[in-house]
Copies of this chain bind each other. A is one copy, B any other.
Amino acid sequence: MTATTEARTATRETAPRVDVPALEETLLGRWSEIRRNARALLADPRYHRVEGQTMDEHRAHVLDQIRLLAAEGDVLRAFPGRLGGADDHGGSVARFEETVVADPSLQIKAGVQWGLFASAILHLGTQDHHDRLLKDAMTVDVPGAFAMTETGHGSDVASIGTTATYDPATEEFILHTPFRAAWKDYLGNAALHGTAAVVFAQLITQGVNHGVHAFYVPLRDPDTHELLPGIGGEDDGLKGGLNGIDNGRLHFDHVRVPRRELLNRYADVAADGTYSSPIASPGRRFFTMLGTLVQGRVSLDGAAVNASKLALIIAITYGNQRRQFSGASDSEEVVLLDYAEHQRRLLPLLAQTYAGAFAHERMLRTFDDVFSGAKDTDEDRQDLETIAAALKPSSTWHALDTLQAAREACGGAGFLTENRLVSLRADLDVYVTFEGDNTVLLQLVAKRLLGDYAKEFKDIDATGVARLVANRAADAALHRTPLLRVVQTLADGGNVRRSAGQLRETETQRELLTDRVETMVAEVAGALRPATKASREEAARLFNTHQHALIECARAHADLLQWEAFTAGLDKVQDPGTRQVLTWLRDLYGLTIIERNLAWYLINGRLSAGRARTVTSYIDRLLARLRPHAQDLVDAFGYGPEHVRASIASGDEHERQEEAREYYRRLRASGDEPRAEKSAPRTAGAARGKARTKGSTSANPGVRSSAAPV
């Protein structure tokens, strides 16, 4: 079988076959009904992005849309039952993630209102705040901003400059912005719509700074919509995307906030200014308060996976219809997805999207366990935070890569707004730096990996660690450690020996991926060990020297998390055909990670040069095997045309191709077809051309020149 003949389209009979409806159900996961309902609702054009709107129109449109969503009600699942919610945290996030298919601006505006503003009242406030403030936040009667980030401090929240100084004389906090860098910035709802905000500031009372706390602060007169006295602001204006959201800046000039508006679940100030908190350590208190932010990261991960799904539906559907350059036969042009390079560009992204989908579903269950209280220890929360800090960078960067690859795979058509890829990419761009900059998050993950490692080896001194690392690096047979407990939810076979090296074997892939994380962590840990005894300056220098290696550890961990989730997901697939195809797809994901890091495996003696060569050739074989199933695999994402809304993925291209082919068929049949020049009788200057006008032999598009679609 050849690449061009084995796999024309997915509709062709090939064994095995994917059971598309069953796979769709698997992918929808635990909250399938909620997701289906959300998709049904979001099929309504009232929720869709209207391209070409001005920024002002788009902002107004999205505000209307979230009010529609609020009225519809199901979007409020995460809130308390007594206030009209359903106390359903996992379901709420699942639902929220689906919103991205309507318009990412709608998703993020909803995220600001319910996921941040109202959630802060819910999670950081107490009964009094819930009773007074939550209902209006839920209904969007009070659109609200989440005023944490400042122009001068984004990732380093602890260092924000805004102060809230308690004045016992009036029992008020004095909220103040001491300098320009302390302006609140990039806040959704701040430029226009917000009539209140949860403001984060350094709480100072009785001469002591107790660190960052949250306050409920009215911003604008609900009638005149003017900013209240002492409050100033500025519009962030146009952005690279998400222009349906009115991001803006806020600053405060000695604004007085009543004592009761301190969201006091984790800390309180008595009338006389005495500070108290159930959490003794200021550091732990800070992280506890910020812990509620994990919800944002979890849902961005899910939304990013969904955006990747849309991109691949569009590019693969088009790639199965679009033809360019003739191949083996003269009249028959080749479908794009039959080109090996096209498969190389798209199918590994499809594999990673599946891995991301399985990993997200798994994380969402963990999230639900924590937020429902089912499994809510400190350790559970920390695990969740680590997983979210690993997966959110992975899936959001992947979404950008996938949207861009899809755009390029669709050529000039991909650049037209009507085909959605460019707008989605523009909107998703900021996902990689907001709700925790990806690079900063990966350092959190690395720190956790180091911490676990240190715990495990705490009885071994520095020399011991160095020796251990050296031994491990030289050791081709692998030993699992409890280091990656979070990952290893599959039954562990104990001492697993590397087989003769069948790269397609699950255990071989697992060992290669796990070993890399463990060895890299051990190496960095060894290199950082002197920091514990060094001066602060020297320790800082040492950390900085190994910053890149730390981030690489975290990335490798994220890859492994996704691979393990994909592998666990395979077990739930009953249909043998589907299982076979998904196993190939999982193998493609695993081998793509290994290929990307092939130098590491070679340098560290984990793969011989001979075996390393087989990685790429096995990937090539997997691509050829998967190609006939590509359409089924994107169809199983379960989005309808009302969600995809891209003209090139609508079947129009197929129709155009058929019409053109039919035209040429008829022309040939009619006998009126002009001859090609080579067969023309010789005239003065012409003829003698050996090549046909249309070009010569091959399926290689490289032999022709190309056009200038400007």
Complex interface: chain B residues within 8 A of A326 (CB): 159
Chain B: CB-nearest residue to A247: B710
Indicate whether A85 reaches chain B with its CB closer than 8 angstroms: no
Question: When the two chains form their complex, are residues A411 and B706 in contact, meaning their CB atoms are under 8 A apart?
Answer: no
Question: When the two chains form their complex, are residues B287 and A180 in contact, meaning their CB atoms are under 8 A apart?
Answer: no
Which parts of A408-452 form the interface with B (CB within 8 Å)? 408, 411-412, 414-418, 421-423, 425-426, 429-430, 432-447
Chain B: CB-nearest residue to A183: B656
**In the complex, A646→B682 CA distance in Å?**
63
Contact with B along A592-618 (1 / 0, CB 8 A): 000100110011110001001100000
Complex interface: chain B residues within 8 A of A329 (CB): 536-537
**In the complex, A290→B202 CA distance in Å?**
66
Indicate whether A375 reaches chain B with its CB closer than 8 angstroms: no
Contact with B along A55-66 (1 / 0, CB 8 A): 100000000000
Question: When the two chains form their complex, are residues B689 and A238 in contact, meaning their CB atoms are under 8 A apart?
Answer: no
Chain B: CB-nearest residue to A418: B237
Tell me the minimal C-beta distance from A24 to chain B in angstroms: 30
Asked whether A706 and B157 contact (CB < 8 A) given A52-B238, A422-B239, A599-B599, the answer is yes
Question: When the two chains form their complex, are residues B683 and A276 in contact, meaning their CB atoms are under 8 A apart?
Answer: yes
Contact with B along A263-294 (1 / 0, CB 8 A): 00001000000111111111111110010010
Question: When the two chains form their complex, are residues B238 and A280 in contact, meaning their CB atoms are under 8 A apart?
Answer: no
Complex interface: chain B residues within 8 A of A283 (CB): 689-693, 695-696
Question: When the two chains form their complex, are residues A159 and B275 in contact, meaning their CB atoms are under 8 A apart?
Answer: no
Complex interface: chain B residues within 8 A of A180 (CB): 655-656, 659-660
Binds B, one of A108-116, A121-129, A254-262: A108-116
Question: When the two chains form their complex, are residues B52 and A686 in contact, meaning their CB atoms are under 8 A apart?
Answer: no
Complex interface: chain B residues within 8 A of A204 (CB): 674
Complex interface: chain B residues within 8 A of A208 (CB): 674-677, 680
Tell me the minimal C-beta distance from A470 to chain B in angstroms: 13
Indicate whether A509 reaches chain B with its CB closer than 8 angstroms: no
Max chain B C-beta neighbours (<10 A), residue from A245, A345, A548, A609? A548
Asked whether A703 and B437 contact (CB < 8 A) given A407-B429, A537-B2, the answer is no
**In the complex, A655→B179 CA distance in Å?**
11
Indicate whether A670 reaches chain B with its CB closer than 8 angstroms: no
**In the complex, A352→B413 CA distance in Å?**
30
**In the complex, A540→B2 CA distance in Å?**
9
Contact pick for A544, options B187, B287, B697, B699, CB 8 Å = B699
**In the complex, A161→B400 CA distance in Å?**
35
Indicate whether A81 reaches chain B with its CB closer than 8 angstroms: no
Question: When the two chains form their complex, are residues A433 and B408 in contact, meaning their CB atoms are under 8 A apart?
Answer: yes
Complex interface: chain B residues within 8 A of A290 (CB): 705
Complex interface: chain B residues within 8 A of A179 (CB): 656, 659-660, 663
Question: When the two chains form their complex, are residues A541 and B157 in contact, meaning their CB atoms are under 8 A apart?
Answer: no
Complex interface: chain B residues within 8 A of A612 (CB): 599, 602-603
Contact with B along A190-211 (1 / 0, CB 8 A): 0000000000001010011111
Question: When the two chains form their complex, are residues B698 and A543 in contact, meaning their CB atoms are under 8 A apart?
Answer: yes
Complex interface: chain B residues within 8 A of A182 (CB): 660
Complex interface: chain B residues within 8 A of A325 (CB): 155-156, 159
Question: When the two chains form their complex, are residues B411 and A685 in contact, meaning their CB atoms are under 8 A apart?
Answer: no
Which parts of A570-608 form the interface with B (CB within 8 Å)? 595, 598-599, 602-605
Complex interface: chain B residues within 8 A of A22 (CB): none
What are 25 A-to-B residue pairs whose CB atoms are below 8 Å?
A148-B708, A153-B707, A158-B693, A161-B663, A178-B663, A179-B656, A179-B660, A180-B655, A208-B676, A209-B674, A209-B675, A209-B677, A211-B694, A274-B683, A286-B695, A293-B705, A434-B709, A434-B710, A440-B701, A443-B700, A444-B702, A539-B699, A543-B700, A545-B620, A605-B609
A2-B540, A237-B418 are known contacts; what are 17 more A-B pairs with Cβ within 8 Å? Answer: A52-B55, A154-B324, A155-B704, A157-B704, A157-B705, A180-B656, A202-B674, A209-B674, A239-B422, A267-B685, A276-B685, A327-B540, A340-B546, A341-B439, A436-B706, A443-B702, A603-B609
